[in-house]
Structure 1
Amino acid sequence: MNDRHVVFRADSSIDIGTGHVMRCLTLAEQLRQQGARCLFVSREHAGNLLSLVHERGFEAARLPVQDVAEIEVRSDEGQPEHARWLGASWQIDARETLAAIAGLTVDWLVVDHYALDHRWESELKTACHKLMVIDDLVDRRHDCDFFLNQNLGRRDADHSALVPKGTKVLLGPDYALLRPEFSELRESAVRRRDTAPMRQILVSMGGIDKGNATAQVLATLRSAEMPADCQVTIVMGKDAPWLEEIHGMATSMPFPTVVISGVANMARLMAESDLAIGAAGGTALERCCMGLPSIIIVMAENQRHGAREMARTDLALVIESAGDISEELPHAIATMVDDAYRMQMSLRCRRVTDGNGCERVVAAMSRFNGSY
């Protein structure tokens, strides 16, 4: 199997964030355990995670960012809403990706990118045995053999007109691409929820936090009524643009506040926390797995559906935009202080996903393709 590759086409940047590459890394690590050779094809956007890809032991083909004027000249009508995130026209990206994988036997091509749709995928299908799309949105057509949307509240009917007939579709948090440590620490985390008062508060607004919502959260917590003896841990990406400012703010907080960047033990931090305040992105399902009660903040329009589904099913308290933090966060904190309320939320959260979704995805790929 060593001559067969799984290729991932995913990007990370200040605009895109880190979640797409991070969940692809989780899947790649699981596939590597089954003998797959994995290659990442990623564009060199500002704020990319290509160094982390290498640290995790994977090869990466680097695509250059195109000149803005060149992108505009080559773009056409009917673009995906996030087309500008690509850093090139889809035609250029397709050609460069084909060049990057030329000569490889590509068993699976896994695409996780809001800027790519059926046109790009149709160009690449001839270069791979099977093509898989990972997506959270319901906003464009795909040409794929295998489709994964791990978000809450999605149904087959949402995607039936967007993927070809015969596409294998995996939907919902049962297939959430979470790292193994979440399922490994889940039991101890759940035990804590049943006994601990609200003392340890975890703040994580995403690996980039382009708009510096972390600063708004800290400014609001500074004047809010907080539990006695509370401690706050802030998690940020090591390349987050506001990291130095947040370090400075942390020193002036009225309760112990630490800032950690580039963490490799998020599951442990969640297991040791009593409340999370965080972005309504992919980490929302990590918190659910750990039964961690949460106040989530919608940081981008593509997070809104998942956040509203969590609010509807009482899995989190939701703040609809970063602009509402100063007004709504104090009320949310006051609600979460109630131990019985948090315990009931934790019970609901832990039923959402058990943390074994990545294994299920790899098993489904194996059944579909006869490998891995």
Structure 2
Amino acid sequence: MKKILFRADGNAQIGAGHIMRCLSLGMAARELGILCKYVTADDSFSGTIKEYGFECEILHTDYYDMEQELNKCLEVIQKFQPDVILADGYYVTHSYLTELKKYAKLAYIDDIKSFAYPVDVLINYNSGAMEMNYPKLYQDSKTELPQLILGEHFVPLRQEFQNLKQKPVKSKVTDILFSAGGADPERIALRFAREVVHNEQLSGYKFHLVLGAFEPDVEEIKKLAEKHTQICIHQNVKKMSELMQQCDMAVSAAGSTLYELCACGMPTITYVLADNQKLGESSLCGKGVMKSAGDVRTKTGFWDDLMEMMYLLAENCEERQKMRESAVRTVDGMGAEHIIKNLMSSEGKDVS
């Protein structure tokens, strides 16, 4: 039996994105008869990984210092003997990856182009990945260019986002989804809730706030929801695609959630809250798939602009229809399977 070892982390500081996309890949691999194991620095997401039916090895190390975990990680690798190691995290170093590559075919998921990663396969599924010019990066560094797997065709979504039946766009919006991601370090969810309940133009809509496992203001938001019935809180959502399809439009941080919204054909207003989100957000909005409210950290008048954008989009059925059509063309939901099949192939051809 073929084996894949995933090395990824998630916690209150970095959110859930790295873990969740690796779980999507693991589920696709399991469907193809491949045995998967996960290795994490701490136990923040070990329960989630086990709920999905996978084994999780906890290193009991600091996620931001991957050099010091190397010996422990190599012990796990030597015992498991994987055919492929897939690393996903912003704290990898050149020497760390070089060492892992000695033990198996090595893949890395990237979206920030920190350096020329010494790996066999480099994955960047974000919109705009082709614009990052990896060949030049590797040419300049004199590091061997890996196989490149690039673009939205490879977005690793969970099975629930595959083959979705698209509902008609309603002429009148009633329900709006909001997501700030798994950790919400900028504390956007609470500010959003406060803004919408005091905005008269938006008083006729119900807002569905998806709160991540590490949301810092969950109690304050619950208190607000008790006073204002237009705020509905969702936690530990088991079937996100169903919740998304119950809504008519969305507001979301520019992370992996955007691609789930695309698969659901959801007209979406997005915003940036981290530098690594800028290219993907710019590319999706440039293609007319979504609308940008800008960078929440730096844009003057961000909240007033966002409230107005929501109202105008909710009132424009024709625009929402166009956005829905663009979104479903962008993502087919089969990206995880596409990646796994490429990883297990020995051909090593670039794909995009």
TM value normalised by structure 2: 0.90
Equivalent of residue 146 in structure 2, options 160, 167, 173: 167
Tell me the residue number matched to 2:45: 49
Contact 2:6 2:87 in 1 (8 A): yes
Structure 1: distance between partners of 2:225 and 2:284: 30
Per-residue CA deviations over 1:76-95 (Å, capped at 9, x if unaligned) read xxxxxxxxxx332x421222
Which sits farther off after the overlay, 103-112 or 237-246? 237-246
Q: Tell me, yes or no, if structure 1 residue 367 matches structure 2 residue 345.
A: yes
Which of 271, 289, 299 is 1:315 aligned to? 289
- CA shift for structure 1 position 262: 1.2
User: For residue 335 of structure 2, what is the amino acid of its counterpart?
Assistant: G
Conservation of the 8 A alpha-carbon contact between 2:108 and 2:122: yes
Query: Whole-Å Cα distance in 2 between the matches of residues 302 and 43 of structure 1?
Result: 22
In structure 2, the residue matched to 1:333 is: 310
Residue in 2 aligned with 1:179? 158
Question: Could you tell me whether the CA contact under 8 Å between 1:137 and 1:302 is conserved in 2?
Answer: yes
2:230 pairs with one of 226, 234, 256: 256
Distance 1:177 1:353 in 2: 10
> Aligned AA for 1:214?
A
User: Secondary structure of 2:15's match?
Assistant: coil
Alignment of 1:18-167 (within 5 A): 18-44=16-42, 48-66=44-62, 86-88=63-65, 90-128=66-104, 130-155=105-130, 158-162=133-137, 164-165=143-144, 167=146
State the Cα distance separating 1:228 from its structure 2 match.
6.6
* Alpha-carbon distance in structure 1 between the residues aligned to 2:92 and 2:340: 23
Alpha-carbon deviation of 1:346? Answer: 1.3
How far apart are the structure 2 equivalents of 1:156 and 1:339? Answer: 32
Contact residue 220 and residue 329 of structure 1 kept, 8 A: no
SS at match of 2:255: coil
Identify which range, 231-240 or 34-43, moves more after superposition: 231-240
Residue identity in the other structure for 2:56: A
In the alignment, the residues of structure 1 paired with residue 203 and residue 197 of structure 2 have an alpha-carbon distance, to the nearest angstrom, of 13
Percent identity between matched residues is: 27
* 2-structure distance, mates of 1:248, 1:315: 35
Post-superposition offset of 1:198 = 1.3
| 3-state secondary structure, aligned to 1:126 | coil
**In structure 1, what is the Cα distance between the partners aligned to 2:25 and 2:86?**
10
SS of the aligned residue for 2:129 comes to: coil
TM-score by length of 1: 0.86
The one of 235, 243, 253 equivalent to 1:279 is 253
Q: Which has the higher contact order (CA 8 A, sep 6+)?
A: 2
Residue aligned with 1:198, SS: coil
Runs ≥4 in structure 1, deviation > 3 angstroms? 161-166, 225-229
CA deviations 1:293-339 (Å, max 9, x no partner) are: 11112111111111122222222221223345422212211221211
SS of match in other structure, 2:330: coil
| Cα displacement (A) at 1:229 | 4.3
* Equivalent position SS for 1:191: coil
**What SS does the aligned partner of 2:29 have?**
helix
* 2:191 aligned with 1:216: yes
The offset of 1:145, in angstroms, is 1.0
Alpha-carbon distance in 2 for matches of 1:113, 1:329 = 31
Letter in 1 for 2:152: P
Counterpart amino acid of residue 271 in structure 1: Q
Q: CA deviation at 1:238?
A: 3.3
Instruction: Give the aligned length.
Output: 340
Q: Distance in 2 between matches of 1:242 and 1:227?
A: 22
Q: Say whether the 8 Å CA contact 2:193–2:231 is kept in structure 1.
A: no
Partners of 1:133 and 1:314 lie apart in 2 by 29
SS at match of 1:181: helix
Deviation, 1:160, is 1.3
